[in-house]
Amino acid sequence: MLSLAPEPKTHAAPATRWRNYYRVYHVLNLGRAGIVFPGIHPGPDAFPSKDIAESHARVFLEALNPPGRFLMDFVAAFPEGERPN
């Protein structure tokens, strides 16, 4: 027979905050973020959507990296609470 009970939710709730992760190649003093050493580090801000986080990362890296050199590179934007491996 037909079941009238609602089906369980199988999807996770959408992420509400996204954080950018960056790969640092040289020791840098980033002001409010402090001194960062080479490796993968989270950005100081969280954003309401992945698109906004990625566009902010693009603008930030264009302002930070001098022409022809990479001091920092964008890894990805992850939901709040998740981290890159």
Mean per-residue pLDDT pooled into runs of 10, the chain (85 residues): 73 80 91 87 91 94 88 92 81
Angle value at C-alpha 38, between 57 and 31, nearest 5 degrees: 60
47 domain-assigned: yes
Q: What is the pLDDT of residue 12?
A: 67
User: What is the tally of structural domains in the chain?
Assistant: 1
Of 83, 58, 76, 81, nearest to 22 (Cα)?
A: 76
For residue 10, being part of any structural domain is answered with no
Q: Give the per-residue pLDDT at 66.
A: 87
Domain contains 8: no
Per-residue pLDDT, 83: 83
| Assigned domain for 5 exists | no
pTM score of the predicted model: 0.76
Range of the domain at 30: 18-79
Does residue 31 fall inside a structural domain? yes
